[in-house]
Structure 1
C-alpha cells in the first residue's frame, strides 16, 4: 500500500530558534520528541548519515542529514519500504514550518500493522512532538488530545517509557 503521511506546523519564531532544538534530536536532552509520553529516538552514532536506531519497535537508519534543515531516515523493517523525514522551512523572518513526512510502500502484514495501529500511534507521536517544540518556543501551551483508539492501543501495548 502506498502511504504518504504529512504533518506540518507553522510557528511564529525564526528558523535559528528551531535549529537549536533540531540539533538535540536523539540526544539525552531531546527537545523535539515528547519523551515524557513516548519512546525516545536512539541512534548509535547520533545525528549523522549511517547512524542506526529507531524509537520503540520502529527501526531505521539516517540516510541524509542537513544540519538546521532536515534529517531523513530509511525504514529498516520488513514490509516498510520508504523513509520518514523531519524538515524545517523558513516561511518569513519570524515564521517557520516544521514538518514530518512519511513516504513508503507497505507490504504483507506491515500494511495491516500500519492501518490498525502504527498510523494512529505515529500521528499522535508527531503531534505531541510538535506540541513540545511549540511549547518551548512560544508562551501559548499546546497539548494535543489523544483519540480513543490511541488510548486503547497504548493500554494494550504498554510502551516502555524512559
Structure 2
C-alpha cells in the first residue's frame, strides 16, 4: 500500500490571528485575496463556504468537511483525482499580535497519482501554497520577506494550463476595428482563453502583446527592417503599435505607411468562467511593393501573432515570483 503523504507549509505572521482568520473566510469568494489566481485556477464552490460545499480548483476537486470561521477549513479530496485524504488551512494564535498560517495535506496517492505526485504534482502544490502564503503575508503586512520562485516544473504546468491560441473569425464585437480600413487584403484573428482573475484591461493586453513581444519576434522584426529598405519600404518602429482608439473592452492600434496601412484590434471579453483575448489584424496595400511585401508577410504573420499572444498570456497570467502583478492589478 502506498504511504500517506504528509505535506506541511506554514508562515509566521506578525498580526493577530483574527486578522488572518478573516482571510480564510473568503476562500472561494470572488474577492479571495490570497489564492494565487490567475496563475492557478481559482477555487470555486457550489455555495458559500460551509460544511458540505463542493468544488475545487481546476481538476483538483474536494468538498468542505470541516469549517471553524476565522480558524480552520478542512477539505476532503474527491477520490477520483487520485488522492485519498484531506488538506487543511488553519490559523494558530501565537500571542495577541502574532499567529501562524498553516496548510497541511495528509493524503494517500492512488492510481496514476502515485507517479504524478512525485513527478509533478508535489512541485506544483508546494509552489502554489507558498504563493498563497506570500499573498497572505503581503495582504496583512504590505510586503513579502522571501517571495516564492517558480521552479521549471511549476512554470510548465502554468503554461500548459493557461490555454492555447486558436484561429477565429474577426469578432463582430471588435467594432473599432471594423471599418477602420476600406478594403483590407488581410483580415485574420487569433484568440487566447485565460483564467478568471486575469486583467481585463484591453490596453494592458495590447501592451503585453505588442510592446513586450518574445525575443524571437524581436529578432524577426530586426531582420525585417534590414531586408525591406532596398525595396523602398520604410523601417518599422514602435509607433506602428500606437493606440489610436479604445473603449472599456477593446483597443485599436495601427499606422498608415507608404506601402501598407495596418490596423490591429485587441478585444477582451470576460465571463464567469474566464476571459477571451482576441487579437485581430487588418492590412491594405498602397503600392506594388506593398503587395509583394504582404504576400511574404502572409506566410509568417499567423506564426508571429500566435507567438506574441501566447507570450502575452504567459507574462500576464503567470508571475514566476509572487511579487508579480496581483490578479486585481492591471499589467503594463
Q: By percentage of residues, which structure has more helix? A: 2
Paired with 1:48 and 1:152, the residues of 2 have a C-alpha distance of 33
2: CA distance, partners of 1:137 / 1:54: 25
Q: Tell me which residue corresponds to 1:89.
A: 92
Partners of 2:48 and 2:107 lie apart in 1 by 24
Report the equivalent of 2:28. 26
* Paired residue secondary structure (1:92): coil
Greater Rg over alpha carbons, structure: 2
Name the count of aligned residue pairs: 162
TM-score, normalised relative to structure 2: 0.47
* Matched-pair contact (CA < 8 Å) for 1:22–1:31: no
Q: Which residue of 2 aligns with 1:146?
A: 150
- Unaligned 5+ runs, structure 1: none
Give the distance between the partners of 1:158 and 1:25, measured in 2 at CA.
22
Tell me which moved more, 109-118 or 40-49.
109-118
| Aligned counterparts of 1:145 and 1:132: Cα–Cα separation in 2 | 13
Structure 1: how far apart are the matches of 2:143 and 2:162?
Answer: 30
Mean Cα deviation higher: 132-141 or 148-157: 148-157
Aligned partner of 2:238 in structure 1 is none
Structure 1 residue 106: Cα displacement: 1.1
Give the secondary structure class of the aligned counterpart of 2:122: helix
Partner of 1:106: 109
**Residue of structure 1 in register with 2:128 after alignment:** 125
Rounded to whole Å, the distance in 1 between the matches of 2:130 and 2:157 is 17
TM-score by length of 1: 0.93
Shift in CA distance, 36/107, structure 1 to aligned 2, threshold 3 Å: closer
Structure 1 or 2: more strand by fraction: 1
| 1:115 and 2:118 correspond | yes
Distance 2:91 2:40 in 1: 22
Please name the residue that 2:75 is paired with: 73
Residue 35 of structure 1 is matched in structure 2 by 37
Q: Which moved more, 1:69-78 or 1:152-161?
A: 152-161
Partner Cα distance (1:157, 1:24) in 2 = 24
Measure, in 2, the Cα distance between the counterparts of 1:33 and 1:156.
Answer: 19
Please report how far the alpha carbon of residue 148 of structure 1 lies from its aligned counterpart in structure 2 after TM superposition: 2.0
Larger mean Cα displacement after TM superposition, 70-79 or 54-63: 70-79
